Amino acid sequence: MEHELQNTIALLERTPAALDALLRGLPEIWTEGDEGEGTWSVRTVVAHLIHGEDEDWMPRARVILQSGEAQEFTPFDRDDYERYSRGKTMEQLLDDFAQARAKGLRELCALNPTEEDLKRRGRHPVFGAVTLSELLATWAAHDLTHLHQISRIMAHQYRETVGPWVRFLGVMQCAGHSAAA
């Protein structure tokens, strides 16, 4: 594997343990609160991460290696997370994410993509041609976008509690920014 992919894997393999250390046993104010009507809680974000392991990242990688641009990726409905979270405790969700991520990384290492493989293209339903390299890098960056979101959702719960410091904490000024893809 080329160097960049090792950087991607190093991050991907750490995210479940980082979320576990942050969230396991944490009071529900932090994990069940959201940022207002129609927004996600931390619990929802973890369910979405499991959903991505199941239907987005490695499934799309396999499509690229098997069919290239001939087969467009199945659109990923990010609002379809509920079947991953229904009836589960936060602790079960953290376990499910760790297992799903470990499975995905085992598959990736078994594929052992070459430099040539990483340049192969697939077809994204929104923005067309993308390479396997871009897909795998986005898998890791997607962890970071949700770590960014989790810290923002949690901080929102203390918007009043911090008093005058609210103006000086960057996370309290963050407006979200994500778009579905």
Structure tokens at 116: 């040539």
Task: Choose which of 11, 50, 112, 125 interacts with a copy of itself (CB under 8 A).
Answer: 11
CA–CA separation, 123 and 129 (whole Å): 5
Among 1, 22, 65, 98, binds a copy of itself (CB under 8 A): 22
Which two structure tokens, joined as six digits, stand for 49?
């991460």
Residue 174 near residue 42 (C-beta atoms within 8 A): no
Residues contacting residue 77 through CB under 8 Å, at least 6 positions apart: none
**How many helices and strands, by DSSP H and E, does the chain display?**
10, 2
Q: Is 124 a residue that touches a copy of itself (CB under 8 A)? A: yes
Q: Would you say 83 or 125 has its CB closer to a copy of itself?
A: 125
| x-marked contacts with a copy of itself along 128-157 as a string, rule CB under 8 A | x-xx-xx--xx-xxx-xx-xxxxxx-xx--
> Which residues of this protein are in contact with a copy of itself, per CB under 8 A?
4, 6-7, 10-11, 14-15, 17-23, 25-27, 29-30, 124, 127-128, 130-131, 133-134, 137-138, 140-142, 144-145, 147-152, 154-155, 158, 161-165, 167-174, 176-181
